Amino acid sequence: MTTNAEVADRFEEFAQFLEAQGVDYKPQTYRRAAENIRSHPRSVADLAGESQDAVEEIDGVGDAISSKIVEYVETGEIEELEALRADLPVDMVALTSVEGVGPKTVGDLYEALGITTLDELETAAEAGEIQEVKGFGAKTEQNILDNIPFARQSQERELLGDARPVADELLAYLRGDDSVESAEVAGSIRRWRDTIGDVDVLVASDANESVVSTFTDWPNADSVIEAGESKASIRSNGIRVDLRVVVPEEFGSALQYFTGSRDHNIQLRNVAIDRDLKINEYGIFDISEVADPDAGQRVGDRVGGRTEAEIYEALDLPVIPPELREDHGEIQAAQNGTLPDLVEEGEIRGDLHTHTDWSDGGNSIEEMVAAAEERGYDYHCVTDHATGPGMVGGVGLSDDELREQMDAVEAARENADIEVFHGVEANIDAEGGISVDDDLLAELDIVVASPHSALDQGREEATERLVAAVEHPSVDVLGHPTGRLINQRAGLDVDFDRLAAAAAEHDTALEINANPARLDLWGEVVSVAVDAGATIAVNTDAHSPGEFENVRYGVHTARRGWAESADILNTREATGLREFLH
């Protein structure tokens, strides 16, 4: 069955081919549609089966795009896209993964040299042919050649969990410089998207050249890509990091602008226009007395820009948390006073999904409990893998071994200053069955049930399977519901409206697995679950104490789904948790 990701990929490709032809505006429209298709909680194929009008319920999808979606679902191709591919028969994804090579460059090099693949690009660069093309030169050719090996290694967006530690170390380094007044990340990493293109860093300083020098001298920089007076780019741990230095009085407006998203900023600018205000990266300006508001970026009377709060306050809005800035109704909620009071990391009282060396963890029960206690948690749940579908190499515990583990958990409980719950991560088979005996499940404090196999099921079959699991009387938490691994496998295609409704009805929590390779559930479907009244559990699936740190990725994912503390199971104290479990 056609998946949302598959359809989204086609429109990403569409945008690139149009950009290669020099088409204005339309590529961005297609990219926005692709992003919304990819994250939409309902199956695009199901919507297309209902009607073209049903497809248009997706943000950014109008008549032209919806007709193409229906065409693709029904025929497996889009005639207009096939024509674009025929006109420009190139491996667009591979070629544009090279630093400095965009779709327009791909089009120019195809027209001049007939380059269609990464290998052909490398051969042409090595032969000195690219520098002979009009608009190119020896330096550009060498840059392309230098960046091809990296492009071969990585053609995917970076995991948030890989990029955020790089950003945090860099921010700490920059904030230690006396010439830096403020430093913060911007872009998708500040909005805590599960993948990012690169790390954007914004600095407030009156000494921009000094900051650029400090930035390029960072010991963790693998290489310097470019450096100017107020901008620079490096690569660290294989991740591109872009720096922009602005004067302190414009830091807040620049931070708001470059955090995005683009769609959020467009809506915010519309609010400003209605008030005779102009908002951009340089500040917010009163243009009510200005004859030509487009005469310059800083025309009008400046009314704010040093902080983000000044930007939103000038529009009579509270500061909207970065995680919500996706044009999903957050501005209207801010205007109506109905923004959610988002959950905070410090409100998590314990982890409900962890592993020890009884299964595939690296530490003992006692060591994991002690680490939870050191974090200040009120309780800790031991939920080692059970045997069952998807478990290989003797990882999972048999029913007899789980009963044996009860005594070990009881011993750890007696020596702990926090409450310790004994549970299991059981496996959900292809029909929704649970891989542990029902009588044993009833004896355990907590049962996490997760899919580990048959992850290529069709939507209806997958949904039935997960609904059966959440309806099981002993299942307390549905673990990593789709089984996805970001950039590796898509996981199960699920009807989240139906799953969330079932979870709410049967008091089964839906997990946000905070492992940054999973982040399963993700923001858009967390929102569906919250709207349905389902309970969310933010768990790390920790296999070692260090992995408890991943909880922040889960919390920020919950925030992207508009979740408040009351929506999260493990913000409850132990008594409240026990009431939910029983």
pLDDT at 392: 58
- Tell me, yes or no, whether 350 and 328 share the same domain: no
Q: d(Cα 60, Cα 32) in Å, to the nearest integer? A: 6
Q: Is the distance from CB of 101 to CB of 90 less than 8 angstroms?
A: no
pLDDT score recorded for residue 156: 60
Residue 304 has pLDDT above 60, yes or no: yes
Bond before 277 cis per omega within 30 degrees: no
Is 273 in the same domain as 363? no
Task: Calculate the alpha carbon distances from 370 to 415, 418, 424, 539, 567 in Å.
Answer: 10, 9, 19, 17, 27
Share of the chain above pLDDT 70, in %: 98
Q: Are both 446 and 370 inside the same structural domain?
A: yes
**CATH number reported for the structural domain that contains residue 136 in this entry:** 1.10.150.110
Span of 20-29, 334-343, 536-545 with lowest mean pLDDT? 20-29
pLDDT digits (tens, 9 = 90+) for 391-404: 756 679 999 999 99
List pLDDT tens digits, range 274-293.
999 999 999 999 999 998 98
pLDDT band at 155 (very low <50, low <70, confident <90, very high): low
Give residue-wise pLDDT tens across range 123-145: 999 999 999 999 999 999 998 99
Here the CATH number for the domain that contains residue 419 is: 3.20.20.140
The pLDDT of residue 9 is: 87
β-partners of residue 226 are: 233
Q: Which of 231, 246, 261 is the last residue of a domain?
A: 246
CA–CA dist 231, 244 (Å, integer): 5
**Could you tell me if 357 and 478 lie in one domain?**
yes
Please check whether residues 394 and 322 belong to one and the same domain. no
Domain span at residue 128 reads 4-153
Burial 487-511 (b: 16+ CB within 10 A, else e): eeebbbbbbbbebbbbbbeeebbbb
> Please, what is the average pLDDT of the chain?
94
Q: How far, in Å, CA of 383 to CA of 351, rounded?
A: 10
Q: List, in sequence order, every residue forming a beta bridge with 286; answer none if it has no partner.
A: 277, 301
550 within 8 A of 515, measured Cβ to Cβ = yes
Contact 543, 355 (CB under 8 A): yes
d(CA 419, CA 441): 20
Sign of CA dihedral 521, 495, 324, 338: negative
User: Is the pTM for the entire model greater than 0.85?
Assistant: no
The mean pLDDT value for 205-225 works out to: 96
Q: Which amino acid is at 145?
A: L
* Dihedral over alpha carbons 145, 150, 155, 158 (to 10 degrees): -140
Q: Give the CATH number of the domain where residue 238 resides.
A: 3.30.460.10
The sign of the torsion formed by the CA atoms of 492, 496, 500, 501 equals negative
Residues 561, 324: Cα–Cα separation, whole Å: 8
Is 409 in contact with 422 (CB distance < 8 Å)? yes
d(CA 500, CA 470): 10
Q: Provide the token pair at 114.
A: 């007939």
Residue pair 180/174 in contact (Cβ under 8 Å)? The answer is yes
In the predicted model, what is the mean pLDDT of residues 362-379?
A: 96
Please give the pLDDT value at position 490. Answer: 81
> Residue 382's beta-bridge partner residues?
422
* Cα–Cα distance, 283 to 279 (Å, whole number): 6
Q: What is the pLDDT of residue 129?
A: 96
E strand or H helix at 43, and its extent? none
Token duo for residue 319 = 């500061």
pLDDT of residue 266: 95
Tell whether the model's pLDDT for residue 151 goes beyond 80.
no
Distances (CA, A) of 500 to 124, 181, 311: 53, 45, 37
> What average pLDDT does this structure show over 43-66?
92
Return the pLDDT at 1.
Answer: 59
Q: What is the pLDDT of residues 473-518, one digit of tens each?
A: 999 999 999 999 887 788 999 999 999 999 999 999 999 999 999 9
Q: Are residues 381 and 524 in the same domain?
A: yes
Average pLDDT over every residue of 521-549: 97
Q: Please, what sign has the CA dihedral across residues 162, 167, 170, 175?
A: negative
Last residue of a domain, one of 319, 336, 353: 336
440, 402 in Cβ contact below 8 A? yes
Q: Which residues contact 367 (CB under 8 A, 6 or more apart)?
A: 545
According to the model, what pLDDT value does residue 2 have? 76
- Structure confidence at residue 110 (pLDDT): 95
Cα–Cα distance, 350 to 375 (Å, whole number): 9
Claim to verify: residue 260 and residue 285 sit in the same structural domain: yes
Same domain? For 133 and 256 the reply is no
Give phi and psi for 330, each to the nearest 5. -70, -35
Nearest to residue 454, comparing CAs of 485, 483, 480?
483
Question: Percent of the chain scored above 90 by pLDDT?
Answer: 84
pLDDT given for residue 153 in this prediction: 63
- Of 153, 175, 202, the domain-final residue: 153
Same domain for 545 and 449: yes
For the chain, the domain total comes to 4
Please tell me whether residues 83 and 164 are part of one structural domain. Answer: no
pLDDT at 296: 87
- pLDDT per residue over 392-443, tens digit each? 566 799 999 999 999 999 999 999 999 999 999 999 999 999 999 999 999 9
